[in-house]
Amino acid sequence: MTTKNNQHDPFDLIGLAVLNTVWSTMLGIGVAVWWAVLFPMVSIPLLAAAAVGVVLGWVWGVVVVGVSISGMVLWRRRSPQTFEQWITSRARTRCFTWFRYRRRWAKLLTACNLTIAREDRTFVPRLLSVEIGETVDRLKVRMLEGHCPADWENRTDHLTHAFRAQECRTSIIGPGLVQLVFRRSDSLAETVALPRIDGGQRWGKEAA
């Protein structure tokens, strides 16, 4: 009779926890730096406020933050189109691209039988680009060797449910390139408020 010892060395557990902490910290720093590069109009004022706070004191740092926030609010009020283009739209696209697609890309395509396993490796179609729209998202995907258009056309129902969309359409847009169009909502489902037109009433009174 043999007995298995399932106890782990405490030092191994501590070392593993330290490694996980270091890795998570490095990953967080990398993400923060990447977002700072993507949105310099936000990161530069924050870095300036930190520098002023270190050199002149935290009070002046708070003042710089307040001025920066006021500038952002003024920008949003004076030019909502450019604010949407440079801040809101870019942040929305980045967040939805990761949350809807890149976060579980390999897992969901494996579930939809669109990956290829060879020996001890699994090959996943490469997600080249994502366009996030108000109601429709467009994805450009590099097909794997051995795939044909029918492989993707026959999996549209699976892709629709896997990515929690209302509809998925596929089309070949180049050699080995397939476009996936996910309809997330119905643009005609929302009620559109039309302006009140009373010109006809006035015309009627004038005519009378």
Q: How far is CA 29 from CA 48, 54, 208, in A?
A: 18, 20, 74
Sequence-distant (6+) residues with CB within 8 A of 165 are 137, 159, 182, 183, 184
The domains located in the chain, with CATH, are 14-78 (no CATH), 103-183 (3.30.980.40)
pTM of the predicted structure, to 2 decimals: 0.62
Closest CA to 67 of 48, 84, 51, 80: 48
pLDDT of residue 173: 94
pLDDT of residue 190: 53
Crossing angle, helix 89-96 and helix 10-38, to 10 degrees?
150
pLDDT in tens, 113-125: 999 988 888 999 9
Res. 105: pLDDT tops 70:
yes
Crossing angle, helix 40-56 and helix 10-38, to 10 degrees?
110
pLDDT in tens, 5-19: 555 667 677 777 777
Confidence of residue 74 (pLDDT cuts 50, 70, 90): confident
pLDDT of residue 75: 80
pLDDT of residue 68: 82
